[in-house]
């Protein structure tokens, strides 16, 4: 059985986004309505500036005691996130997530269009074992190489 691609594995095949001047409160409301854990921050018409995740809201907003209605996404986003192509195998994306500490990766077509966001939960359960094995292999290779 062929491994799924990141695009095949995402349930929402659309981009959820706001501009950099939108508030963290607006982003939380949009993410809640869409039942997703991240929102892309775009500069019109579609230039990716960053991503705001549930973890960003928790660590960069709530834990710092900032006001969600006056804090702009530009102030809490992860700027210039790593994007993956829609054809990337899920296990390869999970390796990136494990190695870099990410839980969300924007999916970008070769022509630059944003297609959605791949999240760690999209990988479960099928490819997670394969990705962990691959990550352990990479770690062993890195250890061997010094």
83-137 pLDDT tens trace:
999 999 999 999 999 999 999 999 999 999 999 999 988 887 655 566 666 777 6
CATH of domain 6-145: 3.10.580.10
Q: Please say whether the beta carbons of 84 and 108 come within 8 A.
A: yes
Domain boundaries in the chain?
Answer: 6-145
63 pLDDT exceeds 90? yes
Percent of the chain surpassing pLDDT 90: 72
Query: How far, in Å, are 22, 25, 90, 103, 115 from residue 100 at the CA level?
Result: 27, 27, 15, 9, 22
Burial environment of residue 126 by CB neighbours within 10 A (0 to 12, 13 to 18, 19 or more): middle
6 pLDDT exceeds 60? yes
Q: What is the mean pLDDT of residues 5-9?
A: 94
Q: What is the mean pLDDT of residues 34-38?
A: 92
């Amino acid at each position: 059985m062929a491994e799924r691609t990141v695009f095949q594995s995402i349930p929402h095949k659309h981009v959820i986004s706001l501009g950099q001047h939108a508030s963290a409160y607006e982003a939380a409301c949009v993410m809640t309505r869409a039942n997703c854990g991240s929102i892309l921050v775009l500069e019109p018409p579609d230039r990716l500036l960053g991503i705001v995740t549930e973890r960003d809201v928790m660590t960069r907003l709530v834990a710092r005691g900032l006001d969600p209605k006056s804090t702009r996404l530009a102030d809490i986003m992860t700027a210039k996130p790593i994007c993956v192509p829609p054809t990337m195998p899920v296990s390869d994306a999970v390796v990136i997530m494990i190695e870099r500490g990410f839980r969300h990766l924007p999916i970008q077509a070769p022509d630059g269009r944003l297609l959605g966001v791949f999240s760690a939960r999209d990988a479960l359960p099928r490819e997670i074992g394969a990705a962990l094995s691959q990550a352990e292999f990479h770690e062993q290779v890195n250890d061997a190489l010094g």
